[in-house]
Amino acid sequence: MNGTQHLFIPGPTNVPEPVRQSMNIPMEDMRAPDFPDFVQRLLCDLKKAFRMEGGRVFVFPSSGTGAWESAIQNTLNIGDKVLMSRFGQFSLLWVDMAERLGLNVDMSEVEWGKGVPVEDYKAKLAADTKHEIRAVFCTQNETATGVTSDIAAVRAALDEVGHPAMLFVDGVSSIASIEFEMEKWGVDLAVSGSQKGFMLPAGLGILGVSDKALEANKAVDNAGMGRCYFSFEDMIKLNDTGYFPYTPATQLLRGLRCSLDMLLGAGMQTVWERHNRLAEGVRRAVAAWDGCELVSRGPEWASDTVSAIYTPEGVDARDVIWGAYYKYQTSLGTGLNKLMGKAFRIGHLGSLNPVMLCGAISAAEMALIDAGAKIEAGSGVAAAQEHYRATTPTGM
């Protein structure tokens, strides 16, 4: 009776109606003789979304965190030295996982609002003449702070100093939304999840693995970390027959088939451009709100999938989130860790259009004013409208 509860968190994202309908089917036999044809076509098309020709893509019934763990366990040994950086809640959690799995982490602390410190990485790689660093980890899109890092620049740094380390990328909130070129950038392991740009419910951890990483998996063999559920070896053996080593999430796989058809039908370049256009409207709105600013410390860091927004001095971001939810039926993302109470987030990835985002901006604007922000009602919405009117192509 009161309309729709609006979702503008940076994941799970809105599920398009065709994707939802594709999952609304009876349970099926995951050992049926025609199931392998479906699975093998699906895995092949996933490689197109990751922009890779060689290697493999594994799909685990897990969150992206499971794919993180699989990437580490299958290619590295306990005690291996790895290069990592920490600049937000999710890069922080990745470091925590690496340490708990027994890796020797050389970690760079970075101001929250910036991203992967390419020059720092380059200096450490150049100094590592014995090539003790086995892997370089990069969070492409830090969902907590709305920051995107330059993965191509990290690859260039590796190449410039001639370092053979593998390149790991957390692309959970970037792949299928913003530019990602696994093959072109020489990424060896790329982690994603179903609930972000792939426009599905949570439940699938998706992992792109290069030929180099597959060779690393063979090299560690049984001498590497213990693994079972997330084993590459088990997945390869069964995926080659079109099946999985355990019960797959068949309905999510059917939804993934539909979402891939939508993404590849539009073209990944078009998908990336749409996200940039939508994100810029949100950034224009934030710029129009007196006292508000992006957590990202410059336009070169600003994410096209989520904007983390500092509230004005004296305004608790939790009050903004509460008001948006209970008064205006709109879910905004909370500030995580050190940003709790200081910032809120607007997710702008997946299945979205300008009118939907104008609604999110309007709800955030009203909630900000209710929480005590001295901003002009309509200022952010107007700024976004002007941008969308000038940039949105017909039929998009």
> pLDDT of 337-362, one tens digit each?
999 999 999 999 999 999 999 999 99
Q: What is the distance between the alpha carbons of residues 184 and 259, in angstroms, rounded to a whole number?
A: 24
**134 near 81, Cβ under 8 Å?**
yes
User: Tens digits of per-residue pLDDT, 133-173?
Assistant: 999 999 999 999 999 999 999 999 999 999 999 999 999 99
Tokens 């699938």 correspond to 204
Interhelix angle for 354-370 vs 317-328, to 10°?
A: 120
Reduce the secondary structure of 148-197 to three states and give it as a string: ECCHHHHHHHHHHHCCCCEEEEECCCCCCCCCCCCCCCCCCEEEEECCCC
> How confident is the model at residue 226, as a pLDDT?
87
pLDDT of residue 2: 82
User: Which CATH number describes the domain made up of 267-391?
Assistant: 3.90.1150.10
Concatenated DSSP letters of 240-277: TTT--SS---HHHHHHHHHHHHHHHHH-HHHHHHHHHH
Nearest partner of 71 among 189, 210, 192, judged by Cα: 189
Give residue 225's pLDDT: 87
Query: What letter does residue 115 receive in the DSSP assignment?
Result: -
Pick the CATH number of 17-265 from 1.10.3720.10, 3.40.30.10, 3.30.70.870, 3.40.640.10: 3.40.640.10
- pLDDT, one tens digit for every residue, the chain (396 residues): 688 999 999 999 999 999 999 999 999 999 999 999 999 999 999 999 999 999 999 999 999 999 999 999 999 999 999 999 999 999 999 999 999 999 999 999 999 999 999 999 999 999 999 999 999 999 999 999 999 999 999 999 999 999 999 999 999 999 999 999 999 999 999 999 999 999 999 999 999 999 999 999 998 866 678 899 999 999 999 999 999 999 999 999 999 999 999 999 999 999 999 999 999 999 999 999 999 999 999 999 999 999 999 999 999 999 999 999 999 999 999 999 999 999 999 999 999 999 999 999 999 999 999 999 999 999 999 999 999 999 999 875
Residue type present at position 208: G
Q: Which pLDDT score, from 0 to 100, does residue 136 have? A: 98
Task: Name beta bridge partners: 142.
Answer: 147
Contacts of 105 (CB under 8 A, 6+ apart): 81, 82, 84, 95, 98, 99
pLDDT digits (tens, 9 = 90+) for 200-232: 999 999 999 999 999 999 988 666 788 999 999
- Phi/psi of residue 19, nearest 5 degrees: -70, -45
CA distance 147 to 113: 6
The per-residue pLDDT for 244 is: 97
- Per-residue 3-state assignment (H helix, E strand, C coil) for 291-345: CCEECCCCCCCECCCEEEEECCCCCCHHHHHHHHHHHHCEEEEECCHHHCCCEEE
Which pLDDT score is estimated for 396? 57
Q: Is 207 helix (H, G, I), strand (E, B) or coil?
A: strand
The backbone torsions φ and ψ at residue 376, rounded to the nearest 5 degrees and listed phi first, read: -85, 125
Residues 6+ apart with CB under 8 A from 245: 231, 234, 235, 237, 238
8 Å CB contact between 258 and 19: yes
CB 360 within 8 A of CB 330: yes
Structural domain boundaries in the chain: 17-265, 267-391
**Contact present, 77 and 225 (Cβ < 8 Å):** yes
* Tokens of residue 89, six digits: 């809640």
Are residues 161 and 167 in contact, defined by beta-carbon separation less than 8 angstroms? no
Question: For residues 106, 11, 227 and 225, what is the CA-based torsion angle, rounded to 10 degrees?
Answer: 0
Q: How many CB atoms lie within 10 A of CB 225?
A: 18
Q: What are phi and psi of 237, to 5 degrees?
A: -60, -45
